[in-house]
Structure 1
C-alpha cells in the first residue's frame, strides 16, 4: 500500500529562533561555485566547481531530540541510545485549543486519546498545538508555547510511551525556570522531540509511522533530526 511522507522538520537557517537559553545557529556559505573555479578542478573543457556550507549550532536547536544525557549527568548519550527508540508507531493528538502558555495536562491527554481513536500503548505521541503556525518565525515562537504538565508526562510513561514530541523550543513553558516536565522525563527514563512542524497534517490520521533519527554525536546531549511520518 502506498503511503504519504509528511515532513515534520523545521528548515535550518542562519540566526533562526532558538530556546531562550541557547544561541541561534550560524549557517553560512563556506565555498561556492564561483570561488572554486580558481581551483581548476576537473578538466579544461569540463571544470568541476562545488559549494560547501559552514554550520555552527547547538545540538538542541531546530527540530531535535533530547538524549537521556541532556538533563541527567548519568544518562545515556545520544550515540549510545538504541536506534529503535527514535522510530515506530505514533499518533498525533489535537491540542490546538490549548492557548499560548497553556497547560497540557492528563485530562487533556485522556480527551485527545479518545478523539484520536488510538489507544496509546508504546506509541510515540505528538502534540499538535498550532503554535508553530501561529508564531513562526516571529520571536513569540520562543516565548508563548504551551507546556506539558508532570501528570501528563506520567500519563505517557504509564502507557509505555518512551518518546513524545511538541512544537516550539521546549516541552516546558518559557515563563518559569522550574523545568518540571524535563525533570519528570529524567526520573521516568523517557524523552522527547522539540520543534516539530506540520503536525496539523497528522491530526485525525489515526496510527502512523514516525521516524526521527539523530546524528551519532559522541557523548551527545541531543541531536538535530530529520523527522517525518509515513501515513
Structure 2
C-alpha cells in the first residue's frame, strides 16, 4: 500500500510548449518549464482516508444499496469533535463499550448528535514503519454501534485500521471458533451505515472536546474510500 510519486523537473515542459508552436526565442526568460508530479501507485486506502459504506459490502443488510464515497453528504464533513483516549489499550486488546463510556465520563465531554468522534490509540507513532499495520487495538462491534446509536455518523482512528490488526482478528477467531470476530467493527456498517476514517495523525494535539473537525475527501465516483485531509479546529 506504499504510495509512489514520480517528480518531473521544470525543463520537461519546455518541449511540450515548443511542440504546441511557441518558438524557443519567444519563451519568457524566467520560464524554465513547469514542475509536475505523477502519482504512479496509490490505493484509496493507502493514506489517511475515509471509508464509505460501500467498502463494507455490496449490499446493506436490509438489501439496500450502500453509498460510495462520492455520495457522502457534505453536511457530515464538518462537525463538533470529540476524542476518546484509548492509549492504555494493549496491542490485540479490543475497545469495548465500557471503555468508551469510561473515557467519556473521565473527559466530561458531552456526545452531541452529528459529532465527529476520533479514537486516540497513539499508534500513529508507527506510521512509516513496517510494524504499522501490525500494531494496535481495535474497535469492537459493540463500541462502534454505541457511537452510531448516539448520533455519530463519522468516526476515525489514529492507527492502520478500525478493527484489531488482522493477525489478532484471525488468532481470536480461530481460538474461539467464532465467525463474528473478523472485521466486526466494519461490518456494523452493513446494518447501520456510517463513515470511518483510518490512519489519522496528531490527535495528541487535540483536547477531549471543544474543537471542530473538517473532513475533506477526494470525490472519487463509485469508490469505496478516498484519501482525505482531516483538520481539527480549536475554539
Query: Could you tell me the TM-score, scaled by structure 1's length?
Result: 0.83
Q: Residues of 2 paired with 1:80 and 1:150: CA distance?
A: 24
Equivalences for residues 121-132 of structure 1 within 5 A: 121-122=112-113, 123-132=115-124
Choose from 58, 67, 91 the match for 2:43: 58
SS in 1 for 2:76: helix
Matched, 1:109 2:100: yes
1:195 maps to: 199
Q: Distance in 1 between matches of 2:57 and 2:79?
A: 25
Q: Distance in 1 between matches of 2:217 and 2:90?
A: 30
SS in 1 for 2:217: coil
Which range moved further: 168-177 or 185-194? Answer: 168-177
Give the deviation of 1:37 after TM superposition.
4.4
**Offset at 1:89?**
0.9
Residue 219 (str. 1) matches residue 222 (str. 2): yes
TM-superposed CA distance for 1:116, in Å, is: 2.2
Q: TM-score, normalised by structure 2?
A: 0.81
Instruction: Note if 1:28 corresponds to 2:20.
Output: no
Does residue 153 of the first structure (1) align with residue 144 of the second (2)? yes
Matches within 5 A, 1:199-210: 199-204=203-208, 206-210=209-213
Question: Residues 49-88 of structure 1: matches in 2 within 5 Å?
Answer: 49-55=33-39, 56-73=41-58, 74-88=65-79
User: Deviations along 1:18-74, whole A, 9 cap, x unmatched?
Assistant: xxxxx3222221x21143344567724232421111113111111000011111312
Partners of 1:159 and 1:212 in 2: how far apart? 20
1:170-225 deviation digits (Å, cap 9, x = unpaired): 11112225101100122111121000000011134x23110112111111111001
Aligned with 2:50: secondary structure?
A: strand
Shift of 1:121: 2.2
From the CA coordinates, give the structure whose radius of gyration is larger.
2
Residue in 1 that maps onto 2:157: 166
Instruction: Judge conservation of contact 1:100–1:145 (CA < 8 Å) in 2.
Output: yes
Q: CA RMSD in A?
A: 1.7
Q: Which runs of 5 or more structure 2 residues have no equivalent in the other structure?
A: 59-64, 171-181
Q: Which moved more, 1:47-56 or 1:121-130?
A: 47-56
Contact map agreement 1:65 1:222 (CA 8 A) in 2 = yes
Alpha-carbon displacement from aligned partner over 1:107-131 (angstroms, at most 9, x marks no partner): 1101111122212122111011111
Q: Distance in 2 between matches of 1:121 and 1:96?
A: 23
Q: Relative CO higher for 1 or 2, CA cutoff 8 Å, sep ≥ 6?
A: 1
Gaps of 5+ in 1: 1-22
